[in-house]
Structure 1
Amino acid sequence: MKRELPKIVTDFLVYLTTIRGKSLRTRKEYEYDITLFLRFLIAVEKDLEITKMDEISIKDVTIDFIKEISLEDMYLFLEYCEMQRSNSAASRARKAATLKSFFKYLKGKRRLLDENPADELETPKIGKKKPIYMDQQEAELFIAGIKKSNHYYRNYSMIMFFLNLGLRVSELCSLNLNSIQDNILRVVGKGDKERTVFLNKACIVSLHTYMEKERQYIQGATTNDALFLSQKGTRLTRQTIAKIIKQINQDSGLNKEKLSPHKLRHTSATIMYKNGADIRSLQHILGHASVSTTQIYTHVEDKEIRQVIENNPFNLLG
């Protein structure tokens, strides 16, 4: 069924991108969550088959319908997501955040609600997962696993950018030839926020080699501004880069579980932190709005914590 949204939902999604500066990807996630929520409520109200949710139209949903939504409806929806759709705590937490944002907009920005039923909505607790990243030795093994294929120089340069600069995969995909001036890289991050980072020797040398030995020979290289090109001369996609990372992971023999471009960002931040980078500098390099987000990326091993305690000068007095 062709998805048709009520105007109030469309207005909210436009507000997200134009005022809040959310990416189109984030906007699509919000649209999906709200659409699923409204379809669920209609299915419950009309006693429709939950298995046929995708066939339910929400185009006629009005503000009067939304005014009847209660906190209990939201918890019922989250329970449905957990029990029937097997959503993880993280996925349900995202849906809860979407609902809180949507209803806050309706009451605070549009003044369409007298009360916000999502005010007291609690977010499902997300258990701490063991972070996936590579240590220095594993990262070196991973780099050595880049095959001497047709795109060796491109892949090697991309890995240098990931591991030295901690880029997001979307940021790497969007890099253009004019993103680089001398040894300065201009990166457009989340919410179209721009930051500059300095290219170190590893990035500069690998990029120069890629430009000289590979990029100029790719079809369409003179007409496409994208820095990293596919065999067909098009801009690389997130999915393609994820496949490249997966292949290198296998070829290297490392076979690190669930290694992705985002885990390379974790690896870069962790290694920089362990080699003396301060948290504020890392915050700028990674493009985080809050330093608390940066701290998630800087993992310290138990053995390192133990060593710090052992090295405390007062320990010598014992």
Structure 2
Amino acid sequence: MSEDAALIDRFLEMMAAERGASRNTLLAYRADLMGAAQIMGGLAMATKAAVAELAAAWATLAASSVARKSSALRAFYAFLEEEGLRPDNPSSALPRPVTRRPLPKILSTREVDSLFAQIELRLAADHPARLDLRLSALIELLYGSGLRASELVSLPRRALAADRPFLILKGKGARERLVPISDRARAAVAAWLPHVPADSAWLFPSGKSHLSRIRLYQMVKALAAAAGIAPERVSPHVLRHAFATHLLEGGADLRALQSMLGHADIGTTQIYTHVDSRRLVELVNSRHPLATMTHRRVDGDASAP
């Protein structure tokens, strides 16, 4: 197992350096690889037959979990083969479960409006509370720019410039992207900034670091409850989904949306085209040229549309 541990370390170093894998991804890969090693009695010298036995060991797991574990092992064995550490690649024996990516949870525009109405109600006070100003800036950036929770809470204090309607983020895989910032979001951040300590490195400081993702989740769910929306339906990621879906419904280009969301693969972005199938059907029925043409019977007689 010590040999496996050393090889896993080398593999993860490669994933971090060459592919920009995040810390959470690296931790998940390590756990999956070590778990497989325990089942097979080792990874480095495992035969194809031993690898094939993983399917039975994983039989009770969800298809998505099996797919994730298989992906980790395929990448690991491909690395060993490329580095000349194994003459073969036994990963072809791994199970390939059929998985369907779940449709993202979203909110309607009316529900989003109710969230902002709740914030506006709080800001209408003669002297808005400091934490309400912070909440306003957070929600404006979440829904107005589609930021990930981790990207939002770790924004530097000077991330937004008064004369620049965008910011440059480094997201998953260390990929940089340009994110447009709405006038509303810039105004909300400008109202919040005077309450940020001058020596803070973060836009949303908390203690010795920045606001945690867990705290952000709690704040978003509390706002949802106050707005009359079931808290379990709302999270920072749901607001990111709402940003994407509502932009697409408004006519945004899929490639532009991919760039704004920071998706490496447009296939990830295309999931939003399946969210509101009823709207798409209505669009075809009302806007397609055939919608204005009359139907014809088999005998050639025209019937009413």
The TM-score by the shorter chain falls in which range? Answer: 0.7 to 0.9
Please state if 1:160 is matched with 2:133.
no
Please state if 1:222 is matched with 2:195.
no
The match for 1:113 among 83, 86, 101 is 86
Q: 1:144 to 1:89 in 2, by over 3 A?
A: farther
- SS of 1:185's equivalent in the other structure is strand
The match for 1:76 among 53, 58, 67 is 53
Give 2:46's aligned amino acid. Answer: E
TM-score (norm 1): 0.81
Give 2:264's aligned amino acid. Answer: A
- SS of 1:196's equivalent in the other structure is strand
- SS of 1:209's equivalent in the other structure is helix
Q: Distance in 1 between matches of 2:27 and 2:10?
A: 14
Would the aligned equivalents of 1:145 and 1:253 in 2 still touch at CA under 8 Å? no
Q: Distance in 1 between matches of 2:63 and 2:98?
A: 7
The match for 1:263 among 238, 262, 269 is 238
Structure 1 residues 130-171: Cα deviation after superposition (integer angstroms, max 9, x where no partner): 431111111112333448464111111111111111111111
Q: Which residue of 2 aligns with 1:17?
A: 16
TM-score (norm 2): 0.84
Q: 1:258 to 1:316 in 2, by over 3 A?
A: closer
Matches within 5 A, 1:169-208: 169-181=149-161, 182=163, 183-208=165-190
Q: Which residue of 1 aligns with 2:36?
A: 37
Give 2:32's aligned amino acid. Answer: D
Structure 1 residues 265-308: Cα deviation after superposition (integer angstroms, max 9, x where no partner): 11110001111111111111111112111111344423212222
Q: Distance in 1 between matches of 2:50 and 2:234?
A: 38
Q: Which residue of 1 aligns with 2:226?
A: 251
Would the aligned equivalents of 1:249 and 1:259 in 2 still touch at CA under 8 Å? yes
Would the aligned equivalents of 2:222 and 2:231 in 1 still touch at CA under 8 Å? no
Percent identity between matched residues is 28
Q: 1:113 to 1:4 in 2, by over 3 A?
A: closer
Q: Which residue of 2 aligns with 1:276?
A: 251
Give 2:280's aligned amino acid. Answer: I
Q: Which residue of 1 aligns with 2:68?
A: 94
Give 2:31's aligned amino acid. Answer: Y
Q: Distance in 1 between matches of 2:74 and 2:166?
A: 39
Q: Distance in 1 between matches of 2:10 and 2:99?
A: 31
Q: Distance in 2 between matches of 1:159 and 1:116?
A: 48
Q: Which residue of 1 aligns with 2:126?
A: none
Q: Which residue of 2 aligns with 1:51?
A: none
Give 1:263's aligned amino acid. Answer: V
Q: CA deviation at 1:209?
A: 1.1
Q: Distance in 2 between matches of 1:184 and 1:6?
A: 44
Give 1:22's aligned amino acid. Answer: A
Q: Which residue of 2 aligns with 1:48?
A: none
Q: Distance in 2 between matches of 1:25 and 1:186?
A: 22
Q: CA deviation at 1:224?
A: 2.0
Between 164-173 and 113-122, the greater mean CA deviation after superposition: 113-122
Q: Which residue of 2 aligns with 1:288?
A: 263
Pairs aligned (count): 283
**5+ residue gaps, structure 2:** 123-128, 295-305
**5+ residue gaps, structure 1:** 43-60
Please state if 1:234 is matched with 2:234.
no
Q: Distance in 2 between matches of 1:128 and 1:196?
A: 27
Q: 1:128 to 1:157 in 2, by over 3 A?
A: same
Please state if 1:317 is matched with 2:293.
yes
Q: 1:196 to 1:131 in 2, by over 3 A?
A: closer
Bigger-Rg structure (1/2): 2
